[in-house]
Structure 1
Amino acid sequence: MTFDGETQNGPSLIDPFGRQINYLRVSVTDRCDFRCFYCMAEDMHFLPKKDILSLEELDRLCSAFVHQGVRRLRLTGGEPLVRKGILTLISSLSRHIETGALEELTLTTNGSQLKRMADDLANLGVKRINVSLDSLKEDRFNAITRWGKFSLVMDGIEAALAAGIKLKLNMVALNGVNDDEFDDMIRYCHERDMDLTIIETMPLGEIDHDRLDLYLPLDQVKRQLSQSWTLSPSRHKTGGPATYMSVAETGGRIGFITPLTHNFCESCNRVRVTCTGTLYMCLGQEDAVDLRAPLRASESDDLLLQEICGAIARKPLGHDFIIDREHNRPSIGRHMSVTGG
């Protein structure tokens, strides 16, 4: 079965609760050139290359989802732009944009490679990118990322904006770390016509710090922001889990992703595939389906499509995210870099 040249999406993927699954997030690598302390341990052990899907396999897998009704495709990692040959993959996948089968091809990045790649990404049809940035203070940024280079990321943001790419910054709210920077981040983003999304830290993977000390509920953040800004609900949607509020003083928007205080499960329209081809129907559940085996078992996509449809048929209603206060353990053992950020 080949999908090249087709212009119509195939049958929609509908889960047991009537939700249409039209958003796919695919991790192209578990590797990252940062070591953000809330995300992973500094001494990480990454997967052997033989376990990682090739670029051709990633293309074929993504295309199978597109032709089953997926309209939004986000490439993630680790850090997706450190994957060798990533621009070749994006170039190939952009054919689905040209045919109209895919509405959006985008990615989430730490920004480290944007300075050199922004123009190429724009030329390949990437119109919107999420950049993870947790601080505007260089010393604090260095402490959070451990391996990051602040000036390179800031230059990358400017390069992407100059290339005409719409940016949204993702900021993880970290209690006692960056909770004094929300106002500055709003000003920085909205002055450059960028949206800002604030995210609760998620209990994924063992790290070197106590998650209880880092956790900051976004209800508290909203109350803090309402003292400085006039906030009102916004109907803006990007296809992801964020709910948005408009800021009267700037004309910009703030998104909030709240997996713990107010989960977003009832409207979930997305699934995730890891760089090894494991399909997770829910970020906060361990149930998963191996797509690498059927992908490699046959040149036909029949087995692959059978596994995809079977997986969607058992997508759960919601996740089980909690922070285990008794044992200080994450809800899910795998790191975010494995599942895809």
Structure 2
Amino acid sequence: METAPLIDPFAREISYLRVSVTDRCDFRCTYCMAEHMQFLPKRDLLTLEELDRLCSTFIRLGVRKLRVTGGEPLVRRDIMTFFRAMGRHLESGALSELTLTTNGSQLARFAGDLAAVGVRRVNVSLDTLDADRFAAVTRWGRLPQVLEGIRAAKAAGLRVKINTVALKGFNEDELFRLVDWCGAEGHDLTFIEVMPMGEMEEADRLGQYWPLTDLRARLAGRYRLIDLTERTGGPARYVRLQETGQKIGFITPLSHNFCESCNRVRVTCTGELYMCLGQEDRADLRSVLRASDDAAVAAAIRAAISHKPKGHDFDYSRARISGQMSRHMSHTGG
């Protein structure tokens, strides 16, 4: 089978795949999904075997980093079957990193198993350290359960990176508390601007938007920020706090477009390949998977990558939302 690397029209090599294994979640975060979601019927989702075939094809085509997302990936039934299948690519050296983004609710249960198959770090979404606020923003979540999961991950030898969505009027006053807690626990921390995804009143989305330029300026008022050149394959840009040595990341799709170095694509739990999180263009890989062999799947992937756009169109700058996506973040997988 042909194994030449995936190169998009702008000479970017695609080496990073984010794959959603479910649209379901045990939380209902206010910026991610509606409280009463209509989830997809099981027949629409890729089976674990189909996910294995698809991800293995991407790996043969040069993907070196695989991030498993959801919804909440650890609520998918028998999900460790898939992680074990991907672990064989770590053992062969074809895959350099297998990781996941999680809300942390199931980490106490799965951390040891994840470490055993070769997962070395996890990203945990955590927007507040206040139990009441946590319950409000997640609707169904409990902060002690997540903190227990984070402790279990650390005990299993997993590196934990905390992902915090910057929400105006919600967690602005916790900026330094979050930084101090992550520093004490040894966790890296990345802040993310809220993105215009899903069905939401425009005024509400604009009201939530806290530009990271402002957040960074507040940090600079207390710490000396040293810009780092390192990249982890994703969109974050990093600084180190000189006083504590901590690494802080910023993902800024609105205030600073990071598309020029994009090396990643996303596959949904239904087998749709999105070449850009902020565009609606997509390719249906499920039908190819179910009707053809792996060579045809590889050809379909190449054809889709040939249409990868230069960048997204997210924009809050004129007091209205431009480039808004109608699909929920839980569908695409973050």
| Class of the TM-score when normalised by the shorter of the 2 chains | over 0.9
Q: How many residues align?
A: 333
Deviations 1:75-98 (A, max 9, x none): 000000000011110001100000
Of 150, 154, 162 in structure 2, the residue corresponding to residue 161 of structure 1 is 154
The alpha-carbon deviation at position 235 of structure 1 amounts to 2.0
Letter in 2 for 1:93: M
Which residue in the other structure is 1:304 paired with?
297
Determine if contact 1:29/1:83 at 8 Å carries over to the other structure.
yes
Which residue in the other structure is 1:29 paired with?
22
2:283 counterpart of 1:289: yes
Correspondence 1:103-142 to 2 at 5 A: 103-142=96-135
The alpha-carbon deviation at position 194 of structure 1 amounts to 1.1
Letter in 1 for 2:307: R
Of 171, 186, 197 in structure 2, the residue corresponding to residue 193 of structure 1 is 186
Q: 2: CA distance between counterparts of 1:327 and 1:43?
A: 26
Determine if contact 1:324/1:331 at 8 Å carries over to the other structure.
no
Which residue in the other structure is 2:233 paired with?
239
The alpha-carbon deviation at position 10 of structure 1 amounts to 2.5
Letter in 1 for 2:81: T
Determine if contact 2:32/2:198 at 8 Å carries over to the other structure.
yes
Deviations 1:253-278 (A, max 9, x none): 00000001101100000000000000
The alpha-carbon deviation at position 41 of structure 1 amounts to 1.1
Determine if contact 1:174/1:214 at 8 Å carries over to the other structure.
yes
Q: 2: CA distance between counterparts of 1:47 and 1:126?
A: 28
Which residue in the other structure is 2:173 paired with?
180
Of 61, 64, 85 in structure 2, the residue corresponding to residue 92 of structure 1 is 85
The alpha-carbon deviation at position 191 of structure 1 amounts to 1.6
Determine if contact 2:197/2:324 at 8 Å carries over to the other structure.
yes
The alpha-carbon deviation at position 125 of structure 1 amounts to 0.6
Q: 2: CA distance between counterparts of 1:100 and 1:187?
A: 37
Q: 2: CA distance between counterparts of 1:11 and 1:204?
A: 34
Deviations 1:42-64 (A, max 9, x none): 11111111000000000000000
3-state SS in 2 of match to 1:142: helix
Which residue in the other structure is 1:223 paired with?
217
TM-score normalised to the size of structure 2? 0.97
Q: Give me the CA root mean square deviation.
A: 1.5
The alpha-carbon deviation at position 123 of structure 1 amounts to 0.7
Unaligned runs of 5+ in 2: none
Letter in 1 for 2:236: A
Correspondence 1:52-67 to 2 at 5 A: 52-67=45-60
The alpha-carbon deviation at position 196 of structure 1 amounts to 0.2
The alpha-carbon deviation at position 324 of structure 1 amounts to 8.9
Q: 2: CA distance between counterparts of 1:227 and 1:203?
A: 29
Deviations 1:226-277 (A, max 9, x none): 1111111012221110000001111110000000110110000000000000
Determine if contact 2:206/2:319 at 8 Å carries over to the other structure.
no
TM-score normalised to the size of structure 1? 0.95
Which residue in the other structure is 1:5 paired with?
none
The alpha-carbon deviation at position 322 of structure 1 amounts to 2.3
Q: 1: CA distance between counterparts of 2:311 and 2:279?
A: 8
Determine if contact 1:39/1:207 at 8 Å carries over to the other structure.
no
Q: 2: CA distance between counterparts of 1:171 and 1:202?
A: 13
Q: 1: CA distance between counterparts of 2:24 and 2:106?
A: 14
Of 139, 147, 164 in structure 2, the residue corresponding to residue 146 of structure 1 is 139
The change in CA–CA distance for 1:330 and 1:282 in structure 2 (over 3 A counts) is closer
Q: Percent identity?
A: 60
Determine if contact 2:313/2:323 at 8 Å carries over to the other structure.
no
Unaligned runs of 5+ in 1: 2-8
Which residue in the other structure is 1:268 paired with?
262
3-state SS in 1 of match to 2:168: coil
3-state SS in 2 of match to 1:321: coil
3-state SS in 2 of match to 1:180: helix
Determine if contact 1:115/1:156 at 8 Å carries over to the other structure.
yes
2:74 counterpart of 1:81: yes
Determine if contact 2:20/2:70 at 8 Å carries over to the other structure.
yes
